[in-house]
Structure 1
Amino acid sequence: MILGLLGILAALGLLMWLSFRGWSILLLAPAAALLAAFASGEPILAHLTQVYMTGGAGFLAQFFPLFLLGALFGKLMEDTGSVEVIARFMTEKLGTGRTILAVVLGGAIVTYGGVSLFVAIFVLVPMAQGLFRTANIPVRLMPAAIALGTMTFTMSALPGTPALQNAIPMPFFGTTPFAAPGLGIIAAAIMLAFGLWWLGRAEKAARRAGDGYHVSNEDIAVDDPNLRERATIASEFDPAELPHGRHSRTSPSFAIALLPLVVVIAVNLLMSVVVLPLLDTSFLAEEKWGATSLSAVGGVWAVVVALFVAIVTLIAFNKDRLPSLRESMDAGANASVLPAFSVASLVGFGAVIAALPAFAVVRDLVLSIGGGPLVSLAVATNILAALTGSASGGMTIALDALGETYMRLAGEYGIDPALLHRVAVMSAGTLDSLPHNGAVVTLLAVCGVTHKQSYLDIFMVAIVGAVIALAAVIVLGTVFGSF
């Protein structure tokens, strides 16, 4: 048993260290899984074909449509110029006097509407650079402003967000994308308020010190292939596909640019609350359909339909602004493949770890954490997201291993599964933003700054603010239940 525990720790350490150095997770995940199996004295080939592959394939079967449609939607929004129009509108309306707020809200609008994280980053950075230069704000604060708008409350707290993280708990807990909406809105407000307070404080301190906008002299290679490997487990979009496709020469109006984002949220809500509950889905209980239920698949269905309708709307209103629709769609589709398989590889790794005899010790240790199921769920998800550097990968591993246990405990403690959903999603979006996270590394590189210059501010807005919001949700959920 001790050797098995050491094998699990060694496998996690190897995965974390080499992934940070840019090794492909497609190679690391199975190698680390088999190392753990070997240390436990388990049959290696059986774990490879029957556990690792089954776990990864199960994840793809459930969530690949979200990767595909999410990446396609993001690419079309980028090629039509819609993301740029929305970001520019926010900056023009708020002005240079509220530069940080403009950057934060611009990122928040596009990501809450379903635009992939990396699409938003690569569009926002050039615009933010111009704003920060005009307002004479240190460029080192720019990554934190973009992170606050794109990587925090719109991904994990706001109800109905089509982000992959918000979809993953739905099959486990039978919930919808709008799980615990009141608590989610409160959490989002806390993250936004804390982040803006911290960045405003940092901006004032910089002005007092006479520290203005200046570009770093360090030569940071944005096209470093290692960045791509790190990035593919942090979002559903492969940044290598951004240059592909053909960008529109004309821009849509703000209303046309915003319309597809509104469609995503509206159709998502309509499907979750009205359409799906009215359908007769009793046929899903048949073996032909996997002997499942609407509660297990309805959430994914709602997001899939919402993204599909938004894509159709986007094409219909921008057909003259898509000089090569096929090229743009091909690039979007291709951008979904590597991230999907990378996260699936992490899930397969988690399946092997959970199947090892030594994992029972880890499970019992997690469940023995004081504070009840909500606290232990938060701790488990945070740890796995931190170790893997992936919110979606860490959360799926945690729920694959412990999801059924937490559903049972929810029944015993009288906890609404919707509360479990919101706590799990928010927990995945906290410690995943440690320095080795692919999105963090990419964001810093694109902004042209280093960890030393900018990571403290990212840590405060993306981790400290998120932890405060998570603690508030756990306390409020424990006292008042889900709302």
Structure 2
Amino acid sequence: MGLIGILLGLGLLIWLAYRGWSVLLLTPVAALIAALFAGEPLLANWTQTFMGGAAGFIAQFFPIFLLGALFGKLMEDSGSVQSVAGFIGTRLGSRRAILAVVLAGALVTYGGVSLFVAFFVLVPMAQSLFKDANIPHRLMPAAIALGTSTFTMSALPGTPAVQNAIPMPFFGTTPFAAPGLGLIAAAIMLLFGLWWLGRAESAARRAGLGFGGALSMTPDQAAYDPLVRERATTSGAFDPPEAHQGQVSAGRPPVFIAFLPLLVVVGVNLAMSLLILPNLDLGYLAEDRWGPSSPAAVSGIWSVVVALTAAILTLLALNWKRLPRLRDSVDAGLNASVLPVVSVASLVGFGSVVAALPAFELVREWVLGIEGGPLVSLAVSTNVLAALTGSASGGLTIALEALGSTYLQLAGELGIDPALMHRVAVIGAGTLDSLPHNGAVVTLLAVCGSTHKDSYLDIVMVAIVGAIVALAAVIVLGTLFGSF
């Protein structure tokens, strides 16, 4: 009965979330259904287990959500994102429109800008380039997804995406875990995606198909659409309506000034991860007043937090006069982080209840019994949970909350570098999360004025198939040569 309760609760969560119901209500209800079928006390599961798991996630990752959303908003309102995107678009031009859109998205998201902020800036740019090049409008969402939601989210070493931060406390790793494997995976995703989009563009030209599209709603309308907002907040770190609060600068900064905060994110993150924190005496973290904790549990998160803080200060120093309504921009950025972190934390709370039920032992045994070893079973578990929740961050956290300590123990017993576990888990969560109900997919299609019917196949190829190929390559190379 306990296993039936888990499946029933999960099924109800998926079905109603896809229909637009808030996960803030659905997750405790689904968790209580699972507890009810297991004969477990309901109130204790809600107030102690569910809330304990959700609160733990917020305690660990809210600083990254908060600073990431603020940085993205300030980058947008200062005109920096527009300047970077415009520079790439001008240099590459309409002859290489797809590559221009992909690279512009990759640069801003790898530099720490929320993908939802990037969507609202990249769509007008992509529309202009695609129209000039007469490339079918239906390819716009896939080109933007390739640049913003694939290799810069899960593969490139040091990416400040929250998905890359989630495994760090579980495995004691840094944002630069398995950098060589991450670069290989990123190259596979990028090249596979560009190959597919180039193939689709050539086929459209042979068939005489041109741009033939227009935005069905403005970015403002898409941001305030209730269904878009509900799904977006479980798969990203930015609440879409806040993207249009504040005031965007009338003038754009020079491209070097626009790029500099992005470079600061990467540079400071690297310095903190590899040079500064490893050489500091952090033994005081073992004291009861701090948890107790350990340097391995917090250093990765600290690296990202300091990098984002340094980038925000750099941006403010360089663009003070370009932010006429600074307080409004700051308020919007900070507010934009709240609903996403609480939504994802609610999914984590559901996972905490499920993992605490006796019937979950059956699930644990099935996952760990998957042939191919712990790397394969870790990839499968993160894939499946990200697919079911429609959220890479939610699925990844649920998987690691339930099985992270087990995988870390297996890594020690089998001589597997935890950094390899980190990279496999992140890439695994960034594959099947892009199913039709994923918030980023729904938002992107709405902002682009496209539909699942017209554009989803191309999104599948660049965001799912390419990522699965890269994941398989990382598992094979990691098994043969270890982490590098």
TM-score range, shorter chain: over 0.9
1:36-51 counterparts in 2 under 5 A?
36-51=34-49
| Separation (CA, whole Å) in 2 of partners of 1:247 and 1:286 | 46
Of all paired residues, the percent bearing the same amino acid is 72
| Separation (CA, whole Å) in 2 of partners of 1:203 and 1:17 | 35
Deviation at 1:356, TM superposition (A): 0.7
Deviation at 1:246, TM superposition (A): 1.3
| Separation (CA, whole Å) in 2 of partners of 1:245 and 1:47 | 41
1:74-473 counterparts in 2 under 5 A?
74-215=72-213, 222=222, 223-473=224-474
The aligned residue for residue 62 of structure 1 is 60
Look up the equivalent residue of 2:77 and give its one-letter code: D
Deviation at 1:216, TM superposition (A): 5.7
Deviation at 1:367, TM superposition (A): 0.3
**Equivalent residues of 2:217, 2:446 under 8 A apart:** no
Q: Deviations over 1:30-64 (max 9, x none)?
A: 11111111111110000001100000000000000
Deviation at 1:27, TM superposition (A): 0.7
Tell me the secondary structure at the aligned position of residue 236 of structure 1. coil
Q: Deviations over 1:124-175 (max 9, x none)?
A: 0011001110000000000000000000000000000000000000000000
Look up the equivalent residue of 2:229 and give its one-letter code: R
Q: 2:17 aligns with which of 16, 19, 24?
A: 19
| Separation (CA, whole Å) in 1 of partners of 2:120 and 2:359 | 43
Q: Deviations over 1:339-360 (max 9, x none)?
A: 0100000000000000111110
| Separation (CA, whole Å) in 2 of partners of 1:99 and 1:160 | 27
**Equivalent residues of 2:215, 2:447 under 8 A apart:** no
Q: Which runs of 5+ in 1 are unaligned?
A: none
| Separation (CA, whole Å) in 1 of partners of 2:33 and 2:241 | 31
State the superposition RMSD in angstroms.
1.0
| Separation (CA, whole Å) in 2 of partners of 1:186 and 1:270 | 22
Determine whether 1:30 maps to 2:36.
no
Deviation at 1:6, TM superposition (A): 1.2
Tell me the secondary structure at the aligned position of residue 244 of structure 2. coil
**Equivalent residues of 2:116, 2:238 under 8 A apart:** yes
Look up the equivalent residue of 1:90 and give its one-letter code: I
Number of corresponding residues: 481
Deviation at 1:224, TM superposition (A): 2.0
| Separation (CA, whole Å) in 1 of partners of 2:321 and 2:460 | 42
**Equivalent residues of 2:215, 2:448 under 8 A apart:** no
Deviation at 1:219, TM superposition (A): 7.0
TM-score norm. by structure 2 comes to 0.98
Deviation at 1:218, TM superposition (A): 6.4
Q: Deviations over 1:84-125 (max 9, x none)?
A: 111111111011110000000000000000000100001000
Deviation at 1:217, TM superposition (A): 9.0
Look up the equivalent residue of 1:276 and give its one-letter code: L
Deviation at 1:411, TM superposition (A): 1.1
Structure 1 runs (4+) greater than 4 angstroms displaced = 216-221
Look up the equivalent residue of 1:274 and give its one-letter code: L
| Separation (CA, whole Å) in 2 of partners of 1:218 and 1:331 | 26
The aligned residue for residue 69 of structure 2 is 71
Tell me the secondary structure at the aligned position of residue 242 of structure 1. helix
| Separation (CA, whole Å) in 1 of partners of 2:452 and 2:178 | 35
Look up the equivalent residue of 2:141 and give its one-letter code: P
Bigger shift: residues 19-28 or 154-163: 19-28
| Separation (CA, whole Å) in 1 of partners of 2:19 and 2:76 | 30
Deviation at 1:324, TM superposition (A): 1.2
Q: Deviations over 1:274-333 (max 9, x none)?
A: 110111111000111111110000000000000000000000000010001111000000
Q: In the superposition, relative to structure 1, how do residues 22 and 62 fare at CA in structure 2: closer, same or farther (>3 Å)?
A: same
| Separation (CA, whole Å) in 2 of partners of 1:215 and 1:104 | 19
Q: Which runs of 5+ in 2 are unaligned?
A: none
Deviation at 1:215, TM superposition (A): 1.7
| Separation (CA, whole Å) in 2 of partners of 1:61 and 1:82 | 31
| Separation (CA, whole Å) in 2 of partners of 1:173 and 1:307 | 22
| Separation (CA, whole Å) in 1 of partners of 2:258 and 2:66 | 21
